[in-house]
Amino acid sequence: MGKSFRLGQYQIEPVERAVYLDNGEKQNLQPKFVDVLLYLVAEYPRIVSRQELIDKVWQGNEYVGEKALTNAIWHLRQSLSHNQDSEVIETIRKTGYRLVVAPEAQLQDDGEPASAAGSQSSRTTRFKWLTLFALVIALAILWLSLSTSQPPPRQIRTVTTEPGLELFPAPSPDGRFLVYKWVAPDGQVDLFRRDLEQPQLKATRLTYDSASEGHSVWSVDGRFLYFSRKDRDAERCDIVRMDMQSFEEVNITNCPVVGGYHYIDISPDNATLAFYSDDDESDLSGIYLLDINKENASPRRFSCATDCGYKERDMAFSPDGNYLATTRRVNQFNENIYLYDLRHHQVRQLTSGEEDIVGLSWHPEGNKLAYGVQRSDTRSGFILDIKTNNIQSLDIEGMSYPHFARNKPWIFFQHRSEEYQIAAIPLNTRVNNSPFPVLNSGYNHNYPDYSHRNKKIAYLSNESGHYEVWIADADGNNRNQLTHLGRSARYPKWSHDGKRIAFLAPDEDETGDHIYIVEVATKRIQTVPSPFKGHNRPMWSADDKRILTTVFTKEHADIYALSLETEEVQRLTFNNGRYGVMTDQNTLIYSTYRNGLWQLNLNTGERQQLIDEQQFRVRYTWTLEDDAIYYIEEESDHQRLLRYDLVTKTHQTLLKTPRSTFETDSALRLDRDQQRILFTKTEFPQSDIKLLIDPAL
C-alpha cells in the first residue's frame, strides 16, 4: 500500500505520510493516521467498524486504540476538509466509518493498482521479492543478535478489584504495602492497606469514621502514614499521623474544609511534610511546609501568597531533596508542572498546554517524573526527563495519580474511566421512569441546553479530542459540530431567539478565559468584551443584549452583566451569586455559594431568599420553568429530582436514583415541547489500582 493515490482534490503519498492539495500545499500525517486511511481505502466502499480498525491498526489494543482512533479520524478530517461542502470520511452512527470519495486507483489484494502495465508489474514483483529476501535476512541477523539480551516485556498488574473507587495509591518505601482511599458504592470513605506479598489476604481497613480521608504518604522509614481527614459536618479538616504498627493517630495540623483534594508529600530526610492548605493572609490556597521533627512547629507557606495569578496544588520532593516539583493552576483550563531548585531558589516550567495535572511522582533515581493528565475527561500518563524535558507517553488510557515506590522503579497508578451521556426524564407520566438516552456513544457528551425556538439541543462532545460545542435535533440525530477551537469549551447556552450559543473557553495564551458567542447559521465566533480574566457559566439577559456570568476577582465572586452593544459592565449580586435565570427584564432568580436560592429586583436592588441553604444546596444543577424550580438533591446513598412550586412553596419528589446518576456540576434543562428534563447522566465510576513494571523505566 505504498503506492500513491487520489481522493478527490487530494493526492495521498503513503511513503511520505503526506497529503498534497492541487495547489501544491503539503500536510504531513502521523503513521497511524496513514494506516487508518489506507485501510479505509482498501475496504472502499464498505463500512468499516471501529473494532475492526482497532484490531487491524492497533492490534486489538482497545485501551490505546479507542481514543487513538477517534483522534486519527478527527485529524484526517481536518487534513481532508479544505472543501467545506464535501466530506471524505463519513461516520456511520453506532457502526463505524467509510470513505465517501472513491479512490482513483482501486487496490487489489496484492496492493498493486489494477491498471498497472504487465511489464511494470513484472519488474515490480521481482523488486518486491528481492526486497522481501533482503528484509528476511536482516531480520534474522537482528533476531540472532537480540534473542539472548531481549529485556522482559512490561507488565501491568491489577492490585485492587473492589467495587467502587480505589484512589490515590501510596506505596510503602520498600514497595511491600499499598495504602489507598476507598469510596464504597454507598458513599463510605476510608483508607485501606494491602500486603502485596500476600495478595490472597483481604486489605486491612485503617480508618473507621464518617469523615473523608484523602491523599496519603508514608514516612521514609515506613513507621508512619500521613493523610488528610475532612469532616464537612463538623467543618473540620486535619492532617493526621498514624503509627503503622499500633494504628494510633495524632492530629498534627489543619487543612482546608473547602476543596476536594488535599495533596501531601514528605522530604527524603523525613523532616518536612508538604501539604495543600490556606490561610487568612493569602489570596489563594497553596503549598505549606511543616517541620515534623520540631514540637509545636507551625506550617509556613511555600507558595506565592498574594497577586500570584495562580495557585499551587500538588507537589513531590526529589529523592535527593534538592528539588520540589509542583503543579500550578491558572484556571480550570490551565495547569502545568514547575520545578523548584531548593538550593539555588530558582524555578522553571516543565510542561505547557495542559489543563489538569492528575498526580506526579519522582523516579527513584531522581532523573524523571511520572505524571498524569486529564484532557477533556480522558486520563493518560507520561514520563518526563528532567534534564532534556523529553516527554514520553506511557500509553495507558485511564491512567492517573502515578506513584513510584521509593526504592524500586515500579509505578502504582489509578486506572479510571468516566462516561458522560445526555439523557432525559419524562415529566408527563404518572409512573416514575428511568432516564432515557438522548445522546449516547463511545464519546462523552455533557452540559445540554435546549432551545424551544428551534427545537435543538446544544451540548459539549469530546469526539474531536477536545470538548467542542455541538448541536443536535431533540432526538439526538443530525449532530453538527459548531466550534473547532482545538481547546476545551464549557457551558453552552442558547440565546432566547435560538440564533446564537454562548460558551466559556480559555483565551489563546491560556492565562485566562473568555465568554464566546457562536452564530449557529454561520459558525462565526465572537468574543464577549470583558475587563476580567476569570468567568463562569454564561447566561443571557431576557432581551439577549447582555451576557450574565459569575466573575472571579481577588475580592469576591458574583454575577455581572456584560453588555454586547456598549461594553458596559454591571455587578448584579452581592451575596456570592453563581448562576441565574432572568424571568423578565427586571427579575433575576439565582443560586449562591452555600446560601440557597434568591430572587433579585434589578430596578430596586431588593432581594429575597426563595429556598434556604438547608433545602437548596446545588449551584448549577437546577432550572426554572413556569413558576417552578427543578433541582437535584444529593443524599449519602441516592439522588432526588425535586420540583419546588414558587407559588405554593411546596416540594414534590419526581425521581429517586442511585448516587452519581446526575452529574451535579452539569446542567439541568427542561424541554417543554416534550415535557422532559435533560441532564448529564453518569454511571458510578469504577477505579482500580494497578501496577506498571517496565524494564524501560
Instruction: Tell me the per-residue pLDDT of 273-298, one tens digit each, with 9 for 90 and over.
Output: 999 999 999 999 999 999 999 989 99
- Radius of gyration for the alpha carbons in the chain, expressed in angstroms and rounded: 28
CA contacts within 13 A on the Cβ side of 490: 21
Percent above pLDDT 90 for the chain: 65
Q: Which of 24-33, 47-56, 499-508 has the lowest mean pLDDT?
A: 24-33
Instruction: Report CA 356 to chain centroid distance, whole Å.
Output: 7
pLDDT of 114:
40
Residues 6+ apart with CB under 8 A from 687: 164, 165, 166, 167, 414, 415, 416
Q: How far is residue 221 CA from its own chain's centroid?
A: 35
Cβ-contact 159, 691 below 8 angstroms: yes
Work out the pLDDT band at 130, boundaries 50, 70, 90.
low
Which residue is listed with cell 494510633? Answer: 248
Mean pLDDT lowest among 6-10, 57-61, 310-314, 612-616: 57-61
Superfamily per CATH, domain 420-579+657-682: TolB, C-terminal domain (2.120.10.30)
Residue 189: the pLDDT is 94
Q: What is the pLDDT of residue 424?
A: 95
Distance CA 192, CA 170 (A): 10
* pLDDT band of 139, cuts 50, 70, 90: low
Residue 680 confidence (pLDDT): 95
Q: What integer pLDDT is reported at residue 677 of this predicted model?
A: 95
DSSP 107: B
**pLDDT confidence band for 387 (50 / 70 / 90):** very high
CA distance 368 to 319: 11
* Per-residue model confidence as pLDDT tens digits over 325-360: 999 999 999 999 999 999 999 999 999 999 999 999
pLDDT tens, position by position, 525-560: 999 999 999 999 999 999 999 999 999 988 899 999
For residue 149, what pLDDT band results from cuts at 50, 70 and 90?
Answer: low
The edge-to-edge listing of strands for the beta sheet with 577-584 is 577-584, 587-592, 597-601, 607-611
Question: Can you tell me the mean pLDDT for 238-250?
Answer: 97
Residue-level pLDDT at 133: 56
pLDDT surpassing 50 at residue 119? no
C-alpha grid cell, residue 674: 416534550
The x, y and z cell numbers of residue 240, run together, are 493526621
Is residue 236 scored above 50 in pLDDT?
yes
pLDDT > 70 in the chain, percent: 91
Residues 15-30, mean pLDDT to the nearest whole number: 81
Cell digits of residue 154: 512490561
pLDDT of residue 110: 42
pLDDT score, position 145: 54
Spatial neighbors of 497 by CB under 8 A, at least 6 apart, are 453, 544
**Predicted pLDDT of residue 23:** 77
Give the CATH fold of the 155-417 domain.
Neuraminidase (2.120.10)
Amino acid at 592: T
Does the structure show a pLDDT above 50 at 115?
no
Residue 111 has pLDDT above 80, yes or no: no
| Segments making up each domain of the chain, as ranges | 5-99, 155-417, 420-579+657-682
**pLDDT score for 432:** 67
For residues 143 and 135, the answer to whether their CB atoms sit within 8 Å is no
**Total length of the chain:** 697
Is 16 or 370 the better-scoring residue by pLDDT?
Answer: 370
Confidence check: pLDDT of 696 > 60: yes
Mean pLDDT score, 260-271: 95
Residue 136 has pLDDT above 70, yes or no: no
Query: Which cell numbers hold the place of 455?
Result: 427545537
224-231 vs 480-481, strand pairing mode: unpaired
pLDDT of res. 679: 96
What distance in Å separates the CA atoms of residue 136 and residue 649, rounded to the nearest whole number? 82
Contact at 8 Å (CB) between 325 and 315?
Answer: yes
List the grid coordinates of 472. 443536535
d(CA 263, CA 371): 14
pLDDT of residue 122: 47
Listing DSSP states for 174-238 in one string gives TSSEEEEEEE-TTS-EEEEEEETT-TTSPPEE---SSSEEEEEEE-TTSSEEEEEEEETTTTEEE
Mean pLDDT of 227-255: 95
Q: Is the pLDDT assigned to residue 198 strictly greater than 80?
A: yes
CA-CA distance, 76 to 396, in Å (whole number)?
A: 23
> ∠ CA(87), CA(89), CA(90), 5° rounding?
85
The DSSP string of 233-266 is: TTTEEEEEEEETTT--EEEEEE--SSSS---EEE
| Mean pLDDT of all residues in 41-66 | 80
The mean pLDDT value for 424-428 works out to: 90
Domain 5-99 bears CATH identifier 1.10.10.10: yes
Our separate counts of H helices and E strands in the chain read: 4, 55
Is 236 or 75 the better-scoring residue by pLDDT? 236
The closest of 221, 307, 306, 299 to 264, measured between CA atoms, is 299
- Burial zone of 9 (CB within 10 Å; 0-12 exposed, 13-18 middle, 19+ buried): middle
3 state SS of 466? coil
Q: Find where cell 444546596 sits.
A: 617
pLDDT digits (tens, 9 = 90+) for 456-475: 999 999 999 899 999 999 99
Q: How many Å apart are CA 587 and CA 581, to the nearest integer?
A: 8
Whether pLDDT at 388 is above 80: yes
Whether pLDDT at 179 is above 90: yes
pLDDT band at 2 (very low <50, low <70, confident <90, very high): low
Mean pLDDT, the chain, integer: 89
Q: Which pLDDT value is given to residue 132?
A: 61
* pLDDT, position 260: 83
How many CA atoms lie within 13 Å of 15's alpha carbon, on the beta-carbon side? 4
Going by the DSSP 8-state scheme, the letter that residue 34 receives in this structure is H
Task: Output the nine-digit C-alpha cell for 76.
Answer: 484526517
Q: Which of 100-104, 144-148, 183-187, 427-431 has the lowest mean pLDDT?
A: 144-148
What pLDDT does 61 receive?
67
Per-residue pLDDT at 69:
85
Q: Do domains 155-417 and 420-579+657-682 have the same CATH topology?
A: yes
CB 394 within 8 A of CB 382: yes
254-265 burial, b at 16+ Cβ within 10 Å, e below that, comes to bbeeeeeebbbb
